[in-house]
Amino acid sequence: MSPRPDALARLAAHTAERAKAGLRRRLRAFDHMDGPWLERDGRTLLSFCGNDYLGLAQHPQLIAALKRTADDEGVGSGSAHLIAGHRAEHAALEEALAEWTGRERALLFSTGYMANLGVMQALLAEGDVCVQDKLNHACLLDGAKLSGAELKRYPHADVEGAARQLQSRPGACALLATDGVFSMDGDVAPLRELSALCAREGATFMVDDAHGLGVLGPEGAGSVAAAELSQHDVPVLMATLGKALGCFGAFVAGRASLIEGLVQSARTFVYTTAMPPAMAAATLAAVRVAREDAWRRDKLQSLIRRFRDGAGQLGLPLMPSDTAIQPLLIGDANHAVMAAEALESVGFLVGAIRPPTVPQGKARLRITLSAMHEDDQVDALLEALSGLPWATEV
């Protein structure tokens, strides 16, 4: 009998292969954050790689709400929602999120990953089909695989390709899922066209609006609201609370029947500890600020235009995006890392995104803008980018 493969040894070999290919990821601990500035080992860097698009993570109203509730309620919720963990703060936040997004009800999850896994496990079963954009976030892809449904992917933003995939399984229960704003490319899905397709084909439409909520649409209600799509048009809406809202967690919103079904059947909701009530209170404060402070979205859009105009004048290979996510295509993974290191050496923190997060040959700098940034900081970044010899290698 041959010996069993060793799982730990196999993992170690895979890690070594990634390191050899220049694709190893690494953790770096930062000592302090002050707006867009991050401090590590006594050195301060200007960050252009975060997701705090509206600059709310350190907003005094959020901090005050968190401290006030922690003083009253403590830190942890102490239980799952369905046992004793669901507090008044959770209920108030769910009501506010539902009202903001124009849905009947909302349900909190601990992370966006857990929300997407829970939704797909509850809605899909073996024999069903889940059709997804090839550039969807990993949690949507994993959710489909774990559900037991057949996962069929279509070329990025290709509505006709999505139609072909749905039509290949005409008798199956079908869910079509897409990112609203794609996290690595920054472009927005063709939501109206996909909604119309789902209506024609009898498929359920789901949108992950992690990078659209707070930034796009009336009062920042997201990419679905920007596309003027209703609860009827997009029956399943998921969004996260740790990006534009500057907090933590996620929610799913839709009809009351959807939410009640998730309460009964979404394992990632039923079998996990509830979000700390103090975090729910801080997030409720974030929703109010995000809705009221339209100037934050206006400033962010101004910075996006400034960056894109400047990059165009410099001939930098920006990918097409009108959102806060501005990818600069490098191509070679090693060159992307070298570019990020060169920027860090002059005080800028920018993420180098490499395979398998993006396709081979599509490594990039993922530059993200925030309402915390100022015009002169964007100009300084552009000047630093203009000095990179490999910035135009595609």
Q: Find the CATH number of the domain harbouring 163.
A: 3.40.640.10
Question: Do 304 and 167 have their domain in common?
Answer: no
Question: Do 49 and 71 have their domain in common?
Answer: no
Count the domains in the chain: 2
Interatomic CA distance for residues 239 and 141, integer angstroms: 16
Does 32 count as an annotated binding residue?
Answer: no
Catalytic: 211? yes
Does 392 count as an annotated binding residue?
Answer: no
For helices 112-123 and 256-265, the axis angle rounded to 10 degrees is 90
CA R_g for the chain: 22
Please state, in angstroms and as integers, the Cα–Cα distance from residue 141 to each residue in 168, 208, 306, following that order: 19, 12, 35
Catalytic: 183? yes
pLDDT at 23: 82
Question: Do 178 and 49 have their domain in common?
Answer: no
Does 53 count as an annotated binding residue?
Answer: no
CA-closest candidate to residue 258, choices 112, 104, 145? 104
With H, G, I as helix, E, B as strand and everything else as coil, classify residue 239: strand
Phi, psi at residue 197, to the nearest 5°?
Answer: -60, -45
Interatomic CA distance for residues 213 and 217, integer angstroms: 8
Query: Residue type at 130?
Result: C
pLDDT at 393: 45
pLDDT at 25: 83
Boundary residue ending a domain (292, 311, 333): 292
Query: Residue type at 149?
Result: A
Q: Domain for residue 81, yes or no?
A: yes
Does 345 count as an annotated binding residue?
Answer: no
CA-closest candidate to residue 149, choices 110, 179, 175, 168? 175
* Enclosing domain of residue 337: 24-54+294-386
Question: Do 40 and 116 have their domain in common?
Answer: no
Boundary residue ending a domain (292, 324, 344): 292
Whole-model pTM: value is 0.94
Question: Do 116 and 263 have their domain in common?
Answer: yes
Question: Do 127 and 270 have their domain in common?
Answer: yes
Catalytic: 345? no
For the chain of 394 residues, list the mean pLDDT of each consecutive stretch of 10.
87 89 83 91 94 97 97 94 96 98 98 97 97 97 96 98 97 97 96 98 98 98 98 98 98 98 97 97 98 98 98 93 96 90 94 90 95 97 87 45
The active-site residue out of 81, 86, 152, 211 is 211
Question: Do 298 and 285 have their domain in common?
Answer: no
Interatomic CA distance for residues 278 and 377, integer angstroms: 34
Question: Do 168 and 92 have their domain in common?
Answer: yes
The active-site residue out of 47, 77, 110, 183 is 183
The active-site residue out of 243, 335, 362, 373 is 243
pLDDT at 390: 53
Does 112 count as an annotated binding residue?
Answer: yes
Report the 10 Å Cβ neighbour count for 223. Answer: 28
Question: Do 288 and 164 have their domain in common?
Answer: yes
Please state, in angstroms and as integers, the Cα–Cα distance from residue 30 to each residue in 38, 42, 344, following that order: 7, 10, 14
Question: Do 91 and 144 have their domain in common?
Answer: yes
Boundary residue ending a domain (292, 316, 345): 292
Question: Do 266 and 311 have their domain in common?
Answer: no
Question: Do 336 and 214 have their domain in common?
Answer: no
Does 361 count as an annotated binding residue?
Answer: no
